[in-house]
């Protein structure tokens, strides 16, 4: 066994003297009596390795031993991951609560996948077949999916199947197949495999461009600032602007197979809400509980900082694993700023030369590498799978000109900037319609979208102008543009998360309603005076909001639309 | 018998260095100098060199002062005997009572397993309409009062503590003025609440390092009470002083500062304390009410900014009133649907009308003509500020809701408020 000796302790950073070779980023255990504290090598200088410990280091002494494992920080991949709640190092929290009670005891690590549970395996290859790493040898049912059992990702080259176990019941550690590489070496395939979290899984034929929209059922997102399957997006915003609520809504309604929530350095209370509520909610796609498609990685703000850094990698690795099964996965990371701060704390302890706001100089490349793990891929069997990444950013003081926001904006495909002004005005979701952008295709007609954007922009300009010269000095034409912009904002951009119907708008409904609204925006209107115009739009807003609350294509829906059209006909200028 | 070290190699700020063997990280030591005896904690090990942070500060320590390691970490005694007592940040009695040494517990313990938390569900009644009606305080919530120096935030805390229906009150005072400390003590005593309170007080003239210990020691004690099925309210005032103490120590330790001199782990450090607020599954709860003073009324200052990202809302105290704009209780939705049918409606309607009143005020100051609607709003706004917002108002929630209907009825016609006809029929005052 490779042992080292502690020569220094500074916070959660250990300096360890070693003799046998040590690998960069391998894990080690600091031995504190019977307690083994997990840590990771992050720098090596001469015969001293520096390790970040994922726990509190209180009690460690100079001279205490450290055991090097020779393995990079890895996670267990296999059936039984879904519906689980893990901490950043893949410890199952409910099982930990059973073992240790109310508090997280340090040095207590449990196996992520239950070892005694039997899975019903059905083989899909036979001896003599040729396979590649990542190809399925069979499957087991896991909740709502067929979970593919794949050839370990780390075996290189073309492989030949030597043996396959017959259909039957197996635990995650049982060998279900043996494959041989071109040099004749045999490798075992189990239901479970290990993979280092910081290395992307690349067992696919090719990476494709993300073009298919991912429907979140949030109108302002799908219509104005869409997200694509396999795309990346970020949600920066000051505190209280609704980042977490927006992510919670997305995690409920998004049209994907698997949702992975990485609660990284945020409030424990918010995770508890998801934890306690999701099992009670039904997934409209499957009719089963929402929890069946959900996995939570939870390293809240008071849990150890180094594990917070690991948690986003744990989450993205599991996301990539399910992508390998041809599923579409959504990873929601809340918040990437806390993760960046974890990097900053470690960088400070290492006494590295700091960059802007004391963040390490490599911050941008680390952020870029993380978001680049999203993507849509074509697998060897021709099916496609995707990982979509949405990260929130919590900029200091709500100012987007800070390193984490800027580093993120460079690499994502869509930017949903939340604004304090909109959240103060209770205009939820508080995504700023003028500052945000997306490079992905929308679900609605491009010309209509252009028109709507124009009204939002010009309406806001008129509003600015009115603040200076007052309503009296504004022409009625400008005033109508302003009212139309406000109307669009009120009935389409804003969405009531607490209303049963309005909370989730499917793509077809968005297309239908949006083209109806575009028609209204195009209609020339005639009013006696501004009072009349304002009164009309107040009534129209009320009617359209009621429309939003009726079930799509129901009788009530059609009737309400007729009412809106009738209201509109009264003031249409046919000249 | 523990070995005594006599040779101090380095003294910089509050940190001293000795050469010693077999010392563990986080261990306590006793430093004896001509200035007296102080506790110190190991904050860094580097080969044979041990860095100690001296709680009483480095002043007066000589190179041959005695250092004796105690072989344990920071602890505090926990029992019912704590009730009614006052201690310093390092747990030494500040009143004339005896030193407590039974049942010692560690401070700064591990964090709660999120799987053992439950969704908060009980309202904490304070008798202050701006809290009860508009931003309800919820058991196990962590909520700071954002304020500027000179505002009556300590009075507000003391009042909430007294009126809240909790079993134990724990005060953690950081950098308190001595008058403020006496105010808290006397106020609790006069109102008969001292017997269910424990006070950990660091005053502005005490050593900086002790300030850092106050939240940990207060919360460790709170946690023990909560595990014994008690509902605990922890008051922390003022967390900006705590952050400043951290800044001071970090700078003396030559750490690289991140934002306005504060250390890079400010968020994690604050979060580690605030996240102790909890509602245990099958035991008691901890509610944290803190004060964060904002230098220059600037909410983007690192301390209020980081705090806002951690806590579940904030009360914004300005001009002696809790401002409805800027104040937020993120957990209010969990409880205000269950209080009374009109609670949410009154909350929304009165705030919307108050916002319109503010707009009218602006119009008035710019010299625009006031319409009939404007005069109604002006009348409403004045009554709202006087009868609801003033901190002197002290009525239970139901009374406050009734008062709300009364004010609305005196100022408006029902249809002008936009309240649904069902509620109007039930509650509108004729």
| Residue-level pLDDT at A494 | 93
Residues A451/A521, Cβ–Cβ less than 8 Å: yes
Please name the residue that has the structure tokens 């704590």. Answer: B82
Mean pLDDT value of segment B357-376: 84
* Distance from the A205 Cα atom to the nearest Cα atom in chain B, whole angstroms: 40
| Residue-level pLDDT at B1 | 52
Q: Tokens standing for A79?
A: 């059936």
- Considering the four listed CATH numbers 1.10.8.60, 2.40.10.170, 3.90.960.10, 3.40.50.300, the one that applies to the domain covering A2-72 is 2.40.10.170
Chain pair A-B, CB pairs under 8 angstroms = 168
Neighbours of A182 (CB within 10 A): 10
Q: Tokens standing for B140?
A: 């196990």
Residues A67/A105, Cβ–Cβ less than 8 Å: no
Q: How far is CA A458 from CA A451, A464, B21, B110, in A?
A: 11, 10, 73, 54
CB-based contacts of B68, cutoff 8 Å, min separation 6: B2, B3, B4, B5, B29, B30, B32
Q: How far apart are CA B251 and CA A209, in angstroms?
A: 49
| Residue-level pLDDT at A385 | 96
Q: In which band, very low, low, confident or very high, does the pLDDT at B53 lie, cut at 50, 70 and 90?
A: very high
CB pair distance less than 8 Å for A305 and B265: yes
Q: How far apart are CA B157 and CA B137, in angstroms?
A: 13
Secondary-structure class of domain B80-239+269-335 per CATH: alpha beta
Q: How do the domains of chain A map onto residue ranges? A: 2-72, 119-191, 205-438, 446-571
What does the pLDDT profile of chain A (575 residues) look like in tens digits? Answer: 899 999 999 988 999 999 999 999 999 999 999 999 999 999 999 999 999 999 999 999 999 999 999 999 999 999 999 999 999 999 999 999 999 999 999 989 999 999 999 999 999 999 999 999 999 999 999 988 899 999 999 998 999 999 999 999 999 999 999 999 989 899 999 999 999 999 999 999 999 999 999 999 999 999 999 999 999 999 999 988 888 889 989 999 999 999 999 999 888 888 888 888 888 888 878 888 999 999 999 998 888 888 999 999 999 999 999 999 999 999 999 989 999 999 998 888 888 888 888 899 999 999 999 999 999 999 999 999 999 999 999 998 889 999 999 999 999 999 999 998 888 777 889 999 999 999 999 999 999 999 999 999 999 999 888 877 877 788 999 999 999 999 999 999 999 887 889 999 999 999 999 999 999 999 999 999 888 998 899 889 989 988 999 999 999 999 999 999 999 999 998 87
ipTM above 0.90, yes or no: no
| Residue-level pLDDT at A351 | 87
CB-based contacts of A411, cutoff 8 Å, min separation 6: A232, A367, A368, A371, A372
Q: How far apart are CA B414 and CA B411, in angstroms?
A: 10
Q: Which CATH number is associated with domain B4-73?
A: 2.40.10.170
CATH 2.40.10.170 domain extents, chain B: 4-73
Exposed e or buried b for every residue in A539-548, given b needs 16+ CB within 10 A? ebbebbeebb
Mean pLDDT value of segment B7-28: 92
Give contacts of B276 with chain A, Cβ < 8 Å.
302
Mean pLDDT value of segment B371-392: 91
The enclosing H or E element of A67 equals strand A65-72
Q: How far is CA B328 from CA A267, A527, B127, B304, B369, in A?
A: 16, 41, 17, 14, 34
Q: In which band, very low, low, confident or very high, does the pLDDT at B239 lie, cut at 50, 70 and 90?
A: very high
Please name the residue that has the structure tokens 């071109």. Answer: A182
Sign of the torsion formed by the C-alpha atoms of A406, A412, A414 and A419 = negative
The backbone region for B37, taken as left when phi is positive above 0, alpha when psi lies in -120 to 50, beta otherwise, is: beta
CB pair distance less than 8 Å for B280 and A276: no
CB pair distance less than 8 Å for A345 and B265: yes
Q: How far apart are CA A303 and CA A56, in angstroms?
A: 10
CATH 3.40.50.12240 domain extents, chain B: 80-239+269-335
Give contacts of B368 with chain A, Cβ < 8 Å.
470
Q: Strands (DSSP E) along B245-359, which ranges?
A: 257-259, 262-263, 278-279, 285-293, 313-318, 321-322, 328-329
Residues A515/A445, Cβ–Cβ less than 8 Å: yes
Statement: residue B405 has pLDDT above 90: yes
Q: Which CATH number is associated with domain A205-438?
A: 3.40.50.300
Give contacts of B313 with chain A, Cβ < 8 Å.
240
CB-based contacts of A25, cutoff 8 Å, min separation 6: A40, A41, A42, A72, A73, A196, A198
Query: Closest Cα partner for B291 from B257, B249, B241?
Result: B241
Report the chain B residue with the minimal C-alpha distance to residue A339.
B268
CB pair distance less than 8 Å for A301 and B310: yes
Residues A439/A413, Cβ–Cβ less than 8 Å: yes
Give contacts of B255 with chain A, Cβ < 8 Å.
348
Q: How far apart are CA A556 and CA A569, in angstroms?
A: 20
Statement: residue B24 has pLDDT above 70: yes
CB pair distance less than 8 Å for A60 and B257: no
CB pair distance less than 8 Å for A301 and B267: yes
Over the stretch A50-66, which tens digit does the pLDDT of each residue have? 999 999 999 999 999 99
SS3 A15: strand
Please name the residue that has the structure tokens 């380095």. Answer: B10
Secondary-structure class of domain A446-571 per CATH: mainly alpha
Q: In which band, very low, low, confident or very high, does the pLDDT at B355 lie, cut at 50, 70 and 90?
A: confident
Over the stretch A343-360, which tens digit does the pLDDT of each residue have? 998 888 888 888 888 899
The enclosing H or E element of B249 equals helix B239-252
Residue A536: CA count within 13 A, CB half-sphere: 23
Q: How far apart are CA A304 and CA A298, in angstroms?
A: 11
CB pair distance less than 8 Å for A271 and B114: yes
Q: For helices B239-252 and B208-227, give the axis angle rounded to 10 degrees.
A: 130
State the average pLDDT for chain B. 91
Please name the residue that has the structure tokens 């990280």. Answer: B25
Cα dihedral angle (A112, A116, A120, A122), rounded to 10 degrees?
Answer: 70
Over the stretch B129-179, which tens digit does the pLDDT of each residue have? 999 999 999 999 999 999 998 899 999 999 999 988 899 999 999 999 999
Report the chain A residue with the minimal C-alpha distance to residue B313.
A240
Residue A553: CA count within 13 A, CB half-sphere: 7
Best of B23, B108, B115, B310 to disrupt the A interface (most A CBs within 10 Å) is B115
In order, the DSSP letters of B6-65 are: --EEEEETTEEEEE-SSPBTT-EEEEEETTEEEEEEEEEEETTEEEEEETT-STT--TT-
| Residue-level pLDDT at B52 | 94
CB-based contacts of A562, cutoff 8 Å, min separation 6: none
Query: Closest Cα partner for A503 from A308, A216, A273, A114?
Result: A216
Q: In which band, very low, low, confident or very high, does the pLDDT at B252 lie, cut at 50, 70 and 90?
A: confident
Q: How far apart are CA A60 and CA B111, in angstroms?
A: 20
Best of B42, B113, B284 to disrupt the A interface (most A CBs within 10 Å) is B113
Report the chain A residue with the minimal C-alpha distance to residue B301.
A397
Give contacts of B309 with chain A, Cβ < 8 Å.
239, 394
Q: How far apart are CA A304 and CA A337, in angstroms?
A: 16
- Considering the four listed CATH numbers 3.10.20.440, 2.40.50.100, 2.40.30.10, 3.90.180.10, the one that applies to the domain covering A119-191 is 2.40.50.100
Mean pLDDT value of segment B366-376: 82
| Residue-level pLDDT at A534 | 87
CB pair distance less than 8 Å for B308 and A424: no
């Amino acid at each position: 066994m490779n042992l080292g000796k502690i020569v220094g302790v500074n916070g959660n950073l250990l300096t360890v003297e070693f003799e046998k070779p040590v690998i960069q980023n391998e894990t080690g255990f600091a031995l504190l009596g019977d307690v083994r504290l997990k840590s990771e090598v992050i720098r090596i200088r001469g015969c001293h390795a520096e390790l970040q410990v994922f726990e509190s280091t209180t009690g460690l002494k100079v001279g205490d031993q450290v055991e090097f494992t020779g393995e990079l920080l890895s996670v267990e991949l296999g059936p039984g991951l879904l519906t689980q709640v893990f901490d950043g190092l893949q410890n199952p929290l409910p099982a930990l609560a059973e073992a240790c009670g109310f508090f997280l005891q340090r040095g207590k690590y449990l196996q992520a996948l239950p070892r005694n549970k039997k899975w019903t395996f059905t083989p899909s290859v036979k001896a003599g077949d040729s396979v590649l790493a990542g190809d399925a040898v069979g499957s087991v049912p896991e909740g709502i999916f067929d979970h593919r059992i794949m050839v370990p990702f780390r075996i290189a080259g073309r492989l030949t199947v030597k043996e396959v176990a017959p259909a039957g019941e197996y635990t995650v550690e049982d060998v279900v197949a043996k494959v041989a590489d071109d040099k004749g070496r045999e490798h075992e395939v189990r239901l479970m495999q290990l993979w280092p979290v910081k290395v992307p899984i690349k067992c696919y034929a090719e990476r494709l461009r993300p073009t298919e929209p991912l429907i979140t059922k949030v109108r302002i997102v799908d219509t104005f600032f869409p997200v694509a399957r396999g795309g990346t997006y970020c949600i920066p915003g000051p505190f209280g602007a609704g980042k977490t609520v927006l992510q919670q809504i997305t995690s409920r309604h998004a049209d994907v197979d698997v949702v992975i929530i990485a609660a990284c350095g945020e409030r424990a209370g918010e995770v508890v809400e998801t934890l306690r509520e999701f099992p009670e909610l039904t997934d409209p796609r499957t009719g089963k509980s929402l929890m069946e498609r959900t996995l939570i990685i939870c390293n809240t703000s008071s849990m150890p900082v180094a594990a917070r850094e690991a948690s986003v990698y744990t989450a993205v690795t599991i996301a990539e694993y399910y992508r390998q099964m041809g599923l579409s996965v959504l990873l929601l990371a809340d918040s990437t700023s806390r993760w960046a701060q974890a990097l900053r704390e470690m960088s400070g302890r290492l006494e590295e030369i700091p960059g802007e706001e004391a963040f390490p100089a490599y911050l941008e490349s680390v952020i870029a590498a993380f978001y680049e793990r999203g993507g849509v891929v074509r697998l060897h069997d021709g099916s496609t799978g995707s990982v979509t990444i949405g990260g929130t950013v919590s900029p200091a003081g709500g100012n987007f000109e800070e390193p984490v926001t800027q580093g993120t904006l460079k690499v994502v495909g869509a930017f949903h900037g939340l604004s304090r002004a909109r959240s103060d005005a209770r205009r939820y979701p508080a995504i700023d319609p003028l500052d945000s952008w997306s490079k992905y295709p929308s679900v609605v007609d491009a010309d209509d979208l252009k028109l709507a954007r124009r009204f939002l922009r010009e309406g806001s300009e008129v509003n600015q102008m009115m603040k200076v010269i007052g309503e009296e000095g504004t022409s009625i034409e400008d005033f109508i543009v302003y009212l139309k912009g406000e109307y669009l904002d009120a009935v389409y951009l804003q969405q009531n998360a607490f209303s049963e119907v309005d909370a989730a708008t499917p793509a077809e409904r968005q297309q239908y309603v949006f083209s109806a609204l575009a028609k209204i925006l195009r209609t020339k209107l005639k009013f006696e005076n501004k009072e009349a115009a304002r009164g009309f739009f107040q009534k129209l807003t009320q009617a359209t909001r009621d429309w939003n609350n009726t079930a799509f294509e129901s009788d009530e829906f059609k009737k309400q639309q007729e009412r809106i059209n009738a209201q509109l006909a009264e003031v249409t200028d046919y000249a | 018998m523990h070995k005594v070290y006599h040779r101090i190699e380095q003294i910089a700020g509050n940190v001293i260095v000795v050469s010693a063997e077999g010392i563990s990280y986080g261990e306590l030591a006793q430093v004896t100098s001509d200035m007296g005896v102080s506790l110190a904690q190991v904050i860094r090990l580097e080969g044979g060199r041990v860095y100690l942070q001296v709680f009483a500060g480095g002043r007066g320590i000589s190179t041959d002062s005695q250092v004796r390691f105690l072989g344990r970490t920071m602890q505090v005694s926990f029992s019912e005997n704590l009730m009614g007592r006052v201690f310093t940040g390092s747990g030494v009695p500040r009143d004339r009572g005896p030193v407590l040494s039974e049942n010692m517990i560690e401070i700064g313990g591990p964090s709660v397993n999120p799987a053992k938390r439950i969704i908060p569900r009980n309202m904490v009644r304070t008798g202050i309409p701006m809290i009860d009606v508009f931003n309800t305080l919820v058991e196990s919530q962590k909520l700071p009062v954002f304020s500027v120096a000179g505002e009556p935030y300590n009075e507000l805390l003391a009042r909430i503590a007294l009126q809240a229906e909790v079993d134990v009150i724990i005060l953690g005072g950081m950098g308190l003025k001595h008058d403020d400390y006496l105010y808290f003590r006397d106020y609790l005593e006069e109102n008969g609440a001292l017997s269910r309170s424990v006070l950990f007080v660091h005053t502005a003239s005490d050593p900086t390092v002790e300030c850092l210990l106050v939240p940990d020691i207060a919360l460790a004690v709170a946690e023990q009470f909560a595990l014994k099925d008690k509902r605990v309210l922890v008051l922390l005032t003022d967390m900006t002083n705590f952050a400043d103490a951290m800044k001071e120590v970090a700078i003396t330790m030559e750490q690289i500062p991140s934002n306005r001199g504060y250390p890079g782990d400010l968020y994690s450090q604050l979060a580690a304390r605030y996240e102790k607020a909890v509602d245990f599954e099958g035991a008691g709860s901890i509610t944290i009410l803190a004060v964060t003073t904002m230098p220059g009324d600037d909410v983007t200052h690192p301390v209020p900014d980081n705090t806002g990202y951690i806590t579940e809302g904030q009360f914004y105290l300005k001009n002696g009133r809790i401002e409805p704009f800027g104040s937020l209780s993120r957990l209010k939705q969990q409880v205000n649907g269950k209080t009374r049918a009109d609670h949410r409606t009154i909350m929304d309607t009165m705030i919307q009308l108050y916002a319109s009143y503010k707009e009218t005020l602006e119009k008035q100051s710019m010299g625009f003509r006031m319409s009939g609607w404007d005069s109604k709003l002006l009348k409403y706004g004045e009554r709202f500020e006087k009868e609801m917002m003033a901190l002197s108002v002290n009525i239970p929630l139901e009374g406050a809701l009734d008062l709300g209907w009364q004010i609305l009825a005196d100022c408006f016609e029902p249809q002008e408020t936009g309240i649904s006809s069902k509620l109007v029929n039930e509650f509108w005052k004729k």
